[in-house]
Every structure is written in structure tokens, then in C-alpha cells.
Amino acid sequence: MTARLRIAIQKSGRLSTESQQLLKSCGVKFSVNEQRLIAHADNMPVDILRVRDDDIPGLVMDGVVDLGIVGENVLEEEQLERDCLGNASDVVKLRQLDFGACRLSLAVPTEFVYGDASSLEGLRIATSYPNLLRRFMQNKGISYQDCQLKGSVEVAPRAGLADGICDLVSTGATLEANGLYETEVIFRSMACIIQSTTPQSDTKQALINKILSRVNGVIRARESKYILLHAPTETLEQIVALLPGAENPTVLPLNDETNRVAIHAVSTEDLFWDTMEELTALGASSILVMPIEKMMG
Ligand code: ATP
Ligand code: MG
């Protein structure tokens, strides 16, 4: 195998911009040419492969690429498919990422009277996720008929192809536009980063570890805020208690002020307007909430 680390990401679709952005935030410098399958990073031995998201789990499982960024829904579906065929699905999920949130749900036409999943007994369900659907229905002991579609699942009931669907939802707007409503969530998903279980050379594994540690740092930074404020010493404790997830803030003296101090804190959550208002009510001033670009250690 090549000495360069290969990472598969979605070529174009809901995960592509954020996948590229994440790698760039990790210091992988590359630029994509729309016509090209591969983008070579120029500052690290890394190649980015841009493919259909459905192909990513398989490429990683077969050891064709070393890492992949894909939705957990697509990963789980492919693993079930391979289990079903008795093929090995050698893959490890290194970590969940902070984008690509969606859910795989059952939905039926507005006029359908739905009690629970058993309302679908014997009916036909259209889906692009036959294995996830089968697992859910088998666990509930419900039999149904398959209608496997790669796309346009949401129009299947209106077209008379199926009685209900099992499809990805994020806001529900597409369902509504097609006269459907969501009845049951069968799988919740985020994007994730996966690695094949095939042992790597030490140098490649070291590079994977380095990228993963940077991914952790980028995501921690995105989830955190740097907060600076001035506070009266007498309400210091109450003010610190209000800062979300800021355990050990730095307290610094202010020039020419004996009863006010400066607080610097890293908060693991965003600081909402309500909290800012409570802080000012306690005498805090000069409150600054800033994004953090990178975090380590
Ligand atoms: P490709 O051409 O790569 O096969 P696609 O049409 O299968 O693209 P997209 O619609 O771009 O895929 O979705 C990619 C992934 O984004 C999904 O598998 C899922 O993990 C995630 N996702 C997030 N929100 C949604 C949503 N509302 N609908 C569909 N997928 C979503
Ligand atoms: Mg796809």
C-alpha cells in the first residue's frame, strides 16, 4: 500500500463542506479540483479521496483507504449489509463528529392513522436503508414488505409505490412538503470518522493518531468559548458559579482597583444572553465572549 495516508470524504452533498473544513482546521492543506477524485495535501503525506458517501464505509473496510468521514447511518447500514452476507466489516469508529446530525425515521401519509409500529404490519415501506429498517422491524416482531429505492423515497407513497417510508429527516420540512408525518425514530446519526482494522505501519498510525488528536482539539475548541469579564470581589463566587462549565477560572488583579478583579475562563458551552444579563446584575462588566480557534492538552 501507498505510504501516503488516504482519507475518503463525500464528494458533494451534506457532509462535503464540513468534512473538508475539518481536515483543513487540522492543518491538512489541500485544494479540491471539482474534476478530480484525489486531492493531494501539500504539507503532509495525505491524500483526500472524494467519493459518493455510500462508498466510504466499504472503501475503509476493504482497506482501500485508511480513514473515512461518513454518516453513522451509512456506516451502520453497510455493516449490517456485510454481516448479512457473511462478509467481514473490519472498521472502527474513531469518534463521532459534531456535524451531519439527522435521524432515520418512519413516516406515513397525513391521513394514515398510526398507533405504533405494528400499524405497519403487512404494509409496504419504501427505504434506502433496508438493513436498518429490517433490524428495527424484526426487533418489534413486525412483518412488512420491502420497497428499496436509492432516491426519491419521500414521493413513494404518493406515487402508490408504498404505504409508508423509512428515510432520513433533519427538520421534517421535506416530509411535510410530501404530505407525510414522522411517526418513529429508528436511528439517530452524526458524521463520524472511521478507520480500517487492518494494522498500519507505525508511521501511518502515528499520522492517524496525530490527525485524530487534532480533530479532538478542533471539536473541543468549537464547543468552547473564552470568557473575559470584570467582577466585584464580593460577588466573585456567584459570578464564577454562573459561567457554564468553567471550572478553574483565572482571577487577576486590576490596576488601581482593590474591589474589582478580571476573570478569564474557558467555558465548555456558549454563554447565553440570559446568563450575560444575570452576570451584569451581579456587577460584572466588560464581558467578552470569544470563539477559540484551537485547543490542546
Ligand atoms: P452521495 O451522492 O454522496 O451518495 P447522498 O445524496 O447519499 O450523497 P446527502 O443527502 O448529501 O447524501 O447526505 C449525506 C449524509 O448527510 C447522510 O447520509 C446523513 O448522514 C447526513 N444528513 C444530515 N442531514 C440530512 C438530511 N436532512 N437528509 C439526508 N441526510 C442528512
Ligand atoms: Mg449517498
Q: What is the value of ipTM here, to two decimals?
A: 0.97
State the chain's mean pLDDT as an integer.
94
**pLDDT at position 89, please?**
83
Domain ranges of the chain: 5-99+191-221, 102-189, 224-291
Place of cell 473490519: 90
In this predicted structure, the answer to whether residue 293 has a pLDDT above a threshold of 60 is: yes
pLDDT at 215: 97
Specify whether the CB–CB gap between 55 and 193 falls below 8 A: no
CA 12 to ligand 1 center in whole angstroms: 10
State the cell numbers at 169: 429527516
d(CA 226, CA 69): 29
Q: Do the domains spanning 5-99+191-221 and 102-189 agree at the CATH topology level?
A: yes
Q: Is the dihedral of CA 246, 248, 253, 259 positive or negative?
A: positive
What percent of the chain stands above pLDDT 70?
A: 99
> Which H helix or E strand runs over 134?
helix 130-140
Bridge partners, 251 (sequence order): 263
Q: Which ligand is nearest to the CA of 13?
A: 1
Q: Find the farthest-apart pair of alpha carbons in the chain and give their distance in angstroms, rounded.
A: 79
Q: Determine if ligand 1 sits within 6 Å of the CB of residue 170.
A: yes
Q: Report CA Rg, the chain.
A: 25
Q: Which atom of ligand 1 is nearest to the CA of 12?
A: 3
Q: Reduced to 3 states, what is the DSSP secondary structure of residue 220? A: helix
Task: Provide the residue type at 47 as one letter.
Answer: D
Residue 1 pLDDT: 54
Q: According to the model, what pLDDT value does residue 236 have?
A: 94
C-alpha 18 chain-centroid distance: 10
pLDDT band at 185 (very low <50, low <70, confident <90, very high): very high
- Please indicate whether residue 73, judged by its CB atom, sits closer than 6 Å to ligand 1: yes
Atom of ligand 1 nearest to the CA of 151: 6
Query: According to the model, what pLDDT value does residue 2 have?
Result: 64
For cell 489541500, name the residue.
30
**CA 219/CA 224 separation, integer angstroms:** 9
What digits encode the pLDDT tens for the residues 247-283?
A: 789 999 998 888 999 999 998 887 789 999 999 999 9
Q: Separation of 54 CA from ligand 2 center, angstroms? A: 5
Distance 10 CA to ligand 2 centre (A): 9
DSSP labels, 14-62: TTHHHHHHHHHHTT------TT-SEEE-SSSSEEEEEE-GGGHHHHHHT
Interstrand relation of 145-148 and 124-127 (parallel, antiparallel or unpaired): parallel
CATH class given for the domain over 102-189? alpha beta
CA distance 214 to 208: 10
CATH architecture of 224-291: 2-Layer Sandwich (3.30)
Transcribe 157-209 into DSSP letters: TTTTS-SEEEEEESSSHHHHHTTEEEEEEEEEE-EEEEEESSPPPHHHHHHHH
- Asked if residue 264 lies in contact with residue 249, where contact means CB atoms within 8 angstroms, the answer is yes
Rounded distance from Cα 212 to ligand 2 centre (Å):
25
Q: For the structural domain made of 5-99+191-221, what CATH number should be given?
A: 3.40.190.10
Confidence of residue 161 (pLDDT cuts 50, 70, 90): very high
What confidence tens digit (pLDDT) does each residue in 52-82 have?
Answer: 999 999 999 999 999 999 999 999 999 999 9
Residue partners of 66: CB distance under 8 A and separation at least 6: 5, 6, 7, 60, 195, 196, 200, 204, 208
